[in-house]
Homo-oligomer: A and B are copies of this chain.
Amino acid sequence: MELGVLYSGGKDSTLAALLLEEFYDVTLVTGHFGISDDWKHARETAAAMGFAFDRLELDPDVAREAAARIREDGFPRNGIQQVHRHALERLAEREYDAIADGTRRDDRVPTVSRAQAQSLEDRHEVDYIAPLSGFGRTAVDRLVDARLEVTVGPSEEIDRADYEAELRAIIADEYGPGVVDELFPDHTQTYVTGVRREKE
């Protein structure tokens, strides 16, 4: 069965791929708006881990709407959520038997409700799987420690391929760079640089 995992290069989507690789033929799929080349970092990481890779073109209008929403709200949650749903819809249109993402039990954003999952599955005749949604924060942290090599640092220095980087670029461009720091107060990002496939 062919599975496309919505992939950012971060620890959650990497763990999601590792959890499913024994059961599906996994392709890591990175969404991008054509604003930056950050998706290429995800392609490198995918290649280093031995995963197939593809990119997913997202609608720049959705990015601009999300950026305006984030600016209006004063926090990124709803804007990121909007973009995540759009990316899942686009991914579901591809020819995969199943699609997945890295959403966790304790995530505040992005979240995919049971009703949204069912709707996605029914409309696109695809299975939607959130393999980390049954794992709490500590369980995920322990798996990350056991399996992943990661680089941690401030968002602006980490070459991560999630939509946040592109949303930040749009916001900096439209509202000035100072606004970005106000709207994204949580600076730390993690980027995966390697995996261990054996139990320690």
Q: Are B138 and A134 in contact (CB under 8 A)?
A: no
Q: What is the CA–CA distance of A143 and B20 in the complex, to the nearest angstrom?
A: 11
Interface string of A12-54 (1 = CB under 8 A from B): 0000000100111100000000000000000000000000000
Per a CB cutoff under 8 Å, which of B105, B132, B199 touches A117?
Answer: B105
Complex contact A127–B139 (CB within 8 A)? yes
A199 to chain B, nearest CB (A): 7
Size range of the interface on A?
20 to 34
A109 to chain B, nearest CB (A): 15
**Which A positions have Cβ atoms within 8 angstroms of B?**
1, 19, 22-25, 97-98, 103, 105-106, 114, 117-118, 121, 127-136, 138-139, 142-143, 146-147, 197, 199
A103's nearest neighbour on chain B, judged by CB, is B134
Taking the closest CB of chain B, its distance from the CB of A97, in whole angstroms, is 8
Count of identical protomers in the assembly: 2
Q: In the complex the two chains form, is B128's CB within 8 Å of A136's CB?
A: yes
Measured between beta carbons, the chain B residues less than 8 angstroms from A146 are: 1, 23
Interface majority SS (helix, strand, loop, mixed), chain A: mixed
Quick check: A117 and B136 within 8 Å, CB to CB? Answer: yes
User: Contacts of A121 on B, CB cut-off 8 Å?
Assistant: 136, 138
A74 to chain B, nearest CB (A): 26
- By beta carbon, the residue of chain B nearest A112 is B134
Q: A134-B129, A134-B134, A146-B23 are in contact. Are A98 and B199 (CB under 8 A)?
A: no
Give the nearest-CB partner of A98 in chain B. Answer: B139
A16's closest neighbor in chain B, by CB?
A: B134
Residues on B with C-beta less than 8 A from A134 are 103, 129-134
Whether B136 and A22, one on each chain, are in contact in the complex, defined by CB atoms closer than 8 angstroms, is no
**Separation of A89 and B129 alpha carbons in the complex (Å):** 27
Measured between beta carbons, the chain B residues less than 8 angstroms from A117 are: 105, 136
A139 to B136, CA, bound (A): 22
Question: In the complex, which residues of chain B have a beta carbon less than 8 angstroms from the beta carbon of A135?
Answer: 127, 129, 131
